[in-house]
Amino acid sequence: MFRSYRSICTLVLLSLMVSLLSAQAITQEYALGKVFLSNGITLEGKALRMTMESVTIDIGGREQVFPLSDVVQVMAKTGKGKKFGQNCAGACVGVYIGLWLASGGTGIDADGEEYDINPAQYLLETALWGGVSYGIGYLAGKMSDDWQVIYLDRG
């Protein structure tokens, strides 16, 4: 009894995973987008999603859906700023935690005397430098995020 239940659960779980993965591969999502329609109108908005049949874009808080037959070109920005910022902040905080663990909570001053590091001060310093690193990474990502053509109707 338990064996058949386990095999049925495994089958259901695998089919669910396959359906989720196939649906995810079909839909492409971007942070910002421009949609050029065949009637000459150009729309710019956030949260662009493209499927094999349509383009969905958020313009002023309202989602608008256009079939690909009405679209000439779609351009998008991937939103690299947030990703770059998170990577830089994570690396900085990781280095600070690694240094804390490696030092055993002690430091050496200019006179060569060993002292205990104040954990609250170290935590505040880690958060401060993590925030600065996030800002630097965000700006770098924002500056390198250019418009890319993701759909072009050649017909």
pLDDT > 70? residue 126: yes
**Domains of the chain, earliest start first:** 2-77 (2.30.30.100), 80-144 (no CATH)
Region 13-30: mean pLDDT is 65
pLDDT band at 104 (very low <50, low <70, confident <90, very high): confident
CB atoms within 10 A of CB 28: 17
Q: What is the pLDDT of residues 34-59, one digit of tens each?
A: 999 999 999 999 999 999 889 999 99
Region 84-111: mean pLDDT is 90
**What does pTM read for this prediction?**
0.60
